[in-house]
Amino acid sequence: MSNNVTLIGNLVDDPELRFTPSGVAMAKVRMAVNRRWRSQDGEWQEQTSFFGGTVWREQAEQVAESLQKGMRIIVTGRLEQRSWETEQGDKRSVVEVQIDEIGPSLRWATATVNRTQRSDDWGNKQGNGGGAPAPAAREEYGPDEAPF
């Protein structure tokens, strides 16, 4: 079963870059996704949904350097639910996007792309002609340990 998702929307904040205690970069992004449609009576309706997501490692640093509040972005990733209990004993839950790919939308904008150096885990080292890297393990946190 797969829960892949693609979202197109606007950043509502600048990406927030942080580092785990072991030095791994992570960036949190928040985006607004608008949906517009005509109702049965011909009136335009609009709904906005807000999504948060996390991107890791070198890509997190590139996101923080490249993207800003208000930019239209395209995100692909997986939905994950995280639950925790507050100090008062209340149960909380949130669905977030674990981001695999993120970038600016070019529908109404242009972008300049600058290639970065590949890390040691990339395909050339594995002898497969430059394919994608093997998925890296993310550092997981309990609700009280999360750096955000």
Whether the pLDDT of residue 16 is over 50: the answer is: yes
Burial environment of residue 86 by CB neighbours within 10 A (0 to 12, 13 to 18, 19 or more): exposed
Whether the pLDDT of residue 137 is over 50: the answer is: no
The tokens describing 113, both together, are: 């792309």
The tokens describing 105, both together, are: 């939308």
Rounded distance between C-alpha atoms, residue 124 and residue 34, angstroms: 40
Under DSSP, is residue 4 helix (H, G, I), strand (E, B) or coil?
strand
> Average pLDDT of 7-20?
96
Check: CB of residue 11 under 8 Å from CB of residue 31. yes
Domain segments of the chain: what residues?
4-36+46-126
Q: What is the mean pLDDT of the chain?
A: 83
**pLDDT for the residue 116:** 79
Burial environment of residue 3 by CB neighbours within 10 A (0 to 12, 13 to 18, 19 or more): exposed
Rounded distance between C-alpha atoms, residue 77 and residue 106, angstroms: 19
Question: Quick one: CATH architecture of 4-36+46-126?
Answer: Beta Barrel (2.40)
